[in-house]
Amino acid sequence: MPNAFAALGALCVAENGGRGEQPPPVGRLVQVALSSGARRTAAAGLQDPVWVTADGQGSAYVGLFHRGEVVRVDLASGSTAAVASGLSCPEGVALSGGALYTVENPVGDECRGRELKREAQLTRIDLGSGAQTKVASLLSPHGLAAARGDCFVCE
């Protein structure tokens, strides 16, 4: 289930092999130039990437569903660094007001058999400190977008 986000004249696509596979699929972040359609792999070896957003300054943030992490990808070098871990099946990521938001959906079939720490919720992640704060309880979230200080969640 790929997800995409457009920024700086390119489309970033999180590609994986599909949901429910065991072990979880290894995927990649693909950058597609909107003007020409040229593709390049921005990062490879990502375990089950399911959602991506970009900051417009050369970095993308990718939710790794089975790992319970969100990683920052430097789009120039392809290097990755975890910005949040210990999440319960993150299904969406969005940036707003200098913070990263994710929806955690530990109620899906793909999360069974894991020790999960949270209910389905919207979580704010401070990019400076990494601190995680619950913003709202959710039923069964599957997507997230942010605009003008609000988050929009598909439930």
CA 123 from centroid of its chain's CA atoms: 12
For residue 139, what pLDDT band results from cuts at 50, 70 and 90? Answer: confident
Handedness of CA 128, 56, 144, 87 (dihedral sign): negative
Domain topology for 10-154: Neuraminidase (2.120.10)
The per-residue b/e assignment along 43-62, b for 16 or more CB within 10 angstroms, e otherwise, is beebbbbbbbbbbeeebbbb
Cα–Cα distance for residue pair 128/27, rounded to 1 Å: 27
Residue 28 has pLDDT above 60, yes or no: yes
pLDDT, one tens digit per residue, over 31-72 is: 888 888 888 888 888 888 888 888 888 899 998 888 889 999
Q: Domain locations in the chain? A: 10-154
